[in-house]
Amino acid sequence: MLVTLLRDPTMNESLPLNALAAELRISAGKLVRRMREQSRPGDFTTSQKSVLLRIDRDGPATVSALARAESVRPQSMRMTVAALQTLGALSGSPDPTDGRQTLVSLTPAFRKKLNASRAAKEDWLVQALQHQLTASEQQQLAATLQLIQRLADY
């Protein structure tokens, strides 16, 4: 439907935003599902992934800080962190500024696994970009990414 709207020369410059929003939501969801298909069996739960990605992005953190950042109760975060420690994804060390607290961080082995998983997903995406899009379409997509990032940051 959106492709028809984009190609219709009778359309004014403004598109029906509800149609645009619906198509963007559907397409983004489909792309996310395709990327998830590249994951390995036994991957983590959504809440575990969120914690792991936050620590990867922001660095070591206390359970309390993670709970605040993820908007969950500290008890729930303790359970998530404990499960991730049992799986070998996280390790704890004393907080250098407050020895009563523990900082959790990614283990070196998990960081290696995380990088391999990302590489597999990116390899799939590179192949899809090469086989599905022309060079001109790849340039259009690059320009569109800036718009998508602005929407995501809203």
pLDDT digits (tens, 9 = 90+) for 36-73: 777 665 678 889 989 999 999 999 999 999 999 999 99
Q: How far is CA 13 from CA 17, 32, 34, 75, 100, in A?
A: 12, 29, 32, 52, 60
pLDDT digits (tens, 9 = 90+) for 118-149: 898 899 999 999 999 999 999 999 999 989 88
Ordered alpha helix ranges (H), the chain: 2-7, 17-36, 46-58, 63-70, 74-86, 108-132, 135-152
Q: What pLDDT is recorded for position 138?
A: 93
Give the global pTM.
0.65
Residue 4 reports pLDDT greater than 70:
no
pLDDT digits (tens, 9 = 90+) for 90-106: 999 999 988 889 999 99
- Beta partners for residue 90, in sequence order: 106
The 10 Å Cβ neighbour count of residue 82 is 13
Domains delineated in the chain: 15-40+113-152 (no CATH), 46-106 (1.10.10.10)
